[in-house]
Amino acid sequence: MYNSIRQQNMNWKDTIAAAIEYNYGVTRKLIDRVGDDTLDWKPATGSNWMTTGQLLHHISNACGTSIKGFVTGDWGMPEGMELSDLSPEDMLPPAEKLPAVQSVEEAKTLLEEDRQLSHEMLNSVSEEQLTGTIAQAPWDPMEMPLGVRMLQMVDHLKQHKGQLFYYLKLQGQPVNTGDLWGM
């Protein structure tokens, strides 16, 4: 997947596109191991855990939707509402308020749509925009190049991919380190 990065003239677009493909591919394989009968499962100890269904829903918009926000300024807010209108709980609600998928098939469909959105947004910007456009996140006012923000969103997907791996492990699924890395 990362063969394009090995080129002498590596660029942001190739790097981000390869990271998108790799992480969505591994995530898809992990989702294939989830059963519809485990969508209500969550870890028994601790608090504020998402159910497996909520985690799959979150994974299915962890990358492309936010990349779209950085590229277009459209963060999916209802008409007439600004991000600044949201309370801290609305910005980061507790787990019990998060939406869930109703099936593994729904999660796979949503994940594929988010993968396509990631590529669509990446293809809509130039190499110069990826290095020269400063992008601030609603949750982080630090100024960073758009390319860095896009890679952060791929990392967001990767983080929750790891969470899904541990959910599967805790559910007794036969997963190992190779599954986490797509080997």
Question: Is residue 3 scored above 90 in pLDDT?
Answer: no
Contact 119, 17 (CB under 8 A): yes
Question: What SS3 state is found at 43?
Answer: coil
pLDDT tens sequence across 122-135:
999 999 999 999 99
pLDDT tens sequence across 154-169:
999 999 999 999 999 9
- The string of DSSP letters for 101-136 reads -SSHHHHHHHHHHHHHHHHHHHHTS-HHHHHH-EEE
Domain ranges of the chain: 10-27+51-74+95-180
Continuous segment of H or E residues that includes residue 150: helix 146-170
Give CA angle at 68 (143, 86), nearest 5°. 70
Give the pLDDT mean for 135-147.
Answer: 89
CATH class of segment(s) 10-27+51-74+95-180 = mainly alpha
Question: Is residue 85 scored above 90 in pLDDT?
Answer: no
Tokens of 79: 């008409």
pTM: 0.88
More confident residue, 100 or 141: 100
183: Cβ contacts below 8 Å, ≥ 6 apart: 177
**Measured distance CA(171)–CA(150) in Å, rounded:** 32
Please give the share of the chain, as a percent, with pLDDT higher than 70: 87
Of 33-47, 92-106, 112-126, 141-155, give the lowest mean pLDDT range.
92-106
Q: Determine the pLDDT at residue 132.
A: 92
Neighbours of 130 (CB within 10 A): 23
